[in-house]
Amino acid sequence: MQKFDELGLSDNILKAINELGFENPTAVQEKTIPFILASTNDLIAIAQTGTGKTAAFGLPIIEKADIGLKQVQGLILSPTRELAIQITEDLTKFSKHISGFSVIPVYGGASIDTQIRNLKKGAHIVVGTPGRVNDLINRKSLIINKIKWLVLDEADEMLNMGFKDDLDSILETTPEDKQTLLFSATMPKEVYAIANKYMKNMEEIAVGGSNKGAENVSHEYYVAHAKDRYIALKRLADMNPNIYSIVFCRTRRETQEVADKLIKDGYNADALHGDLSQSQRDHVMLRFREKNLQMLVATDVAARGLDVNDLTHVINYNLPDELEAYIHRSGRTGRASKKGISIAIINTREQDKIKQLEKKVGKKFDRKNIPSGKEICEIQLFNIIENIKNIEVIESEIAPFLPKIYENLDLLTKEDLIKRIASVEFNRFLEYYKNSKDINVSDKDRKADRNSDRGRNSDKDNDSKDKPWRERPRGSASYSRFFINKGAKDELNPSRLIGWVNRNLNSDNVGIGKVDILKSFSFFEVEKQFEKDILNQLNNVDYDGEKVVIQLAEEKGSNETRKSDFKKNRDSEHKSGSKDFGRKSEYKGSRDSGKYKSSDKYKSSGDKKDRKTGYSSRSSKR
């Protein structure tokens, strides 16, 4: 294996790398850095999450950039604001010994005026999300017609998140002679389509194989009924006392609910999702990176920018809708040559998905039994003993108290003393798991579930409450249709829109019908009884730091009626700052949530008894 000083990097960059503690390049860095330094050809690099892709493209770009040229030379696109911030921080660290080198992040949810002022000061590299980058280009605040490098980081995720139109618009603005560097963990046909359209003289580097899982990650799955999913999660956490994990959920609402339950039950946990403000996200991520949290409950999008090297587990509370996303999730663990475990909690109807994942990942998934209360108590007992054995004793501090301690314990034998010390925490687990039931799904249960599916519409599955975006019958309720001047470029989606409406109406019983998320604006339906509340309470309310405009739209019917919606709300759209109003591509890809009652709570139940106090082993800083 080569050393970093053998790759052709300058002393200033090598000094920064050494200070960060890096010695040997990863496989993707070893292949990519010399290529970018020596060639101007375009590159597709296929590598899993956590393999050091930022340094793979960042180090050679910093090396080749002209420090004396005061213009944007490199543009790096990433799917989320968190990842954009993380990339910016990494590039800043890599270039710390290069005087005057500037890297600026731009992303939604932050003041665009501040970002424009920063760009006017000059930057060598700009890192941003596609929506905000496109907006700044349209405002002529970001000039990219002379860039030398364009990096598409996590290209598959950008397409999954609906940024294709923005990517097309940005790529068409860039110069022909730039070098395009596309990095992705998976290579679906949509990514290849982007590459074939915009890249030339392409070369491809694959580390670990396309669409394959990380080598250091093992995969396990546990089968439980939907109603027992949360109980299974708690038992898996208790079976691993030193767990340090991300728990992935499908929606923001589910993420917050699971985190709230874990916190209530004494676990050191918190939530990370798109409904949090940027300051809240930063606070949660800082606590998790410093290991003041053991379990971070997150959505796929929110976790994209989280760079943590020593996760013990990734837990799929629900499997992702797009199975390729499982590869991204599992790649969060098993980093830096450490071992990791990816766990999936599935219901009885998801066995086929496991078989599909085995083919995608290229590994066998081990089915394991959800641990019993007795097994957990045994694991926790020996963990307590191990902690006692390894505890640091500060003689100078405890010495004054020892005579009194010896006096109080004088009548206890060694055996009695050991029993009492071990029981301090052990009794709590014994009480909690007393009479706990076996929640594993038997072959008889699976057969009954299969039989109950026959002749029944899938929308009536017991698991349907875990899939809130299914089409649901609308019944007799009448709806009003509204326009909102926020869309996909603002990272709006049906789940986030519904959460925002409910929070600002201070209600959990708002009936929301069809939701159409377009590029720069959206439409949504709400039961007529809430029409005045929507207009009176939601106009000029903040969404990611910007005021929204909401207006009544005409009933959706023919294409002509829909076009009139766009014309009617054009002034509002222009007020939002978008210059792409009315593009044909915006009419495509609307998402239909169906009717959704925010009072439809997830029914995942916990064990019957809550812990009266949190475990001390969870509350201490690891």
pLDDT tens digit string along 10-51?
999 999 999 988 878 988 999 999 999 999 999 999 887 667
Alpha-carbon Rg for the chain in angstroms: 27
The answer, yes or no, to whether residue 362 has pLDDT greater than 90, is no
Comparing 4-206 with 217-372, is the CATH topology the same? Answer: yes
Q: Is it the case that residue 474 has pLDDT exceeding 80?
A: no
Is the predicted pLDDT of residue 375 greater than 50, yes or no?
A: yes
pLDDT tens readout for residues 170-185: 999 999 999 999 998 7
Helix (H, G, I), strand (E, B) or coil at 256: helix
The overall average pLDDT reported for the chain is 80
Q: What percent of the chain has pLDDT over 70?
A: 80
The rounded distance, in Å, linking the Cα atoms of 90 and 307 is 10
* Helix boundaries (H) for 96-163: 112-121, 130-138, 155-160
Does 502 score more than 70 pLDDT? yes
Q: Calculate mean pLDDT across residues 359-388.
A: 90
**Per-residue confidence (pLDDT) for residue 218, from 0 to 100:** 93
Neighbours of 67 (CB within 10 A): 14
Query: Of 2, 37, 54, 49, whose CA–CA distance to 23 is shortest?
Result: 2
HEC profile of 301-351: CHHHHCCCCCCCEEEECCCCCCCHHHHHHHCCCCCCCCCEEEEEEECCCCH
Q: What is the pLDDT of residues 286-337, one digit of tens each?
A: 899 889 999 999 988 777 656 677 899 999 999 987 777 888 888 888 876 6
Contact 68, 98 (CB under 8 A): no
pLDDT at position 314 is 95
Domain boundaries along the sequence of the chain: 4-206, 217-372, 374-432, 469-597
The band of 56, judged by pLDDT with boundaries at 50, 70 and 90, is very high
Q: Confirm if 130 and 487 have CB atoms less than 8 A apart.
A: no
Question: In angstroms, rounded to a whole number, what is the distance separating the alpha carbons of residues 327 and 323?
Answer: 8
Interior CA angle at 345 toward 251 and 235, to 5°?
Answer: 110
According to DSSP, residue 527 is labeled E
Q: Which residue has the tokens 């081990």?
A: 366
Write the class of the CATH domain 217-372.
alpha beta
Which whole-number Å values give the CA distances from 483 to 116, 394, 478, 511, in the listed order?
28, 65, 17, 17
pLDDT at 447: 57
Whether 148 has a pLDDT exceeding 90, the answer reads yes
pLDDT value at residue 3: 85
How much is the pLDDT for 616?
A: 34
**pLDDT-above-90 percentage for the chain:** 40
Mean per-residue pLDDT, 512-541: 86
* pLDDT value for 573: 39
Q: Is the pLDDT of residue 279 over 90?
A: no
Query: For residue 114, what are the CA distances in angstroms to 399, 416, 609?
Result: 57, 66, 50
Residue 215: count of CB within 10 angstroms of its CB: 13
> CA 461, CA 224: separation in Å to the nearest integer?
14
End-to-end CA distance of the chain: 33
| Distances in whole angstroms, Cα of residue 242 to Cα of each of 160, 236, 311, 361, 489 | 34, 11, 10, 27, 40
Phi, psi of 265 (to 5 degrees): -85, 10
Each residue of 384-420: pLDDT tens digit? 888 888 889 998 999 999 999 999 998 899 899 888 8
Q: How far apart are CA 189 and CA 142, in angstroms?
A: 30
Residue 52 — very low, low, confident or very high, per pLDDT cuts 50/70/90? confident
Does 581 have pLDDT greater than 60?
no
Q: Is the pLDDT assigned to residue 115 strictly greater than 80?
A: yes
- Cβ neighbour number for residue 264 with a 10 Å cutoff: 13
The CATH number of domain 469-597, selected from 3.40.1280.10, 3.30.70.330, 3.40.190.10, 3.40.50.280: 3.30.70.330
The CATH class of 4-206 is alpha beta
Check whether 560 has a pLDDT greater than 60: no
Closest CA to 302 of 379, 250, 352, 265: 250
Least reliable range by pLDDT among 250-254, 435-439, 603-607: 603-607
E strand or H helix that includes residue 378: helix 373-390
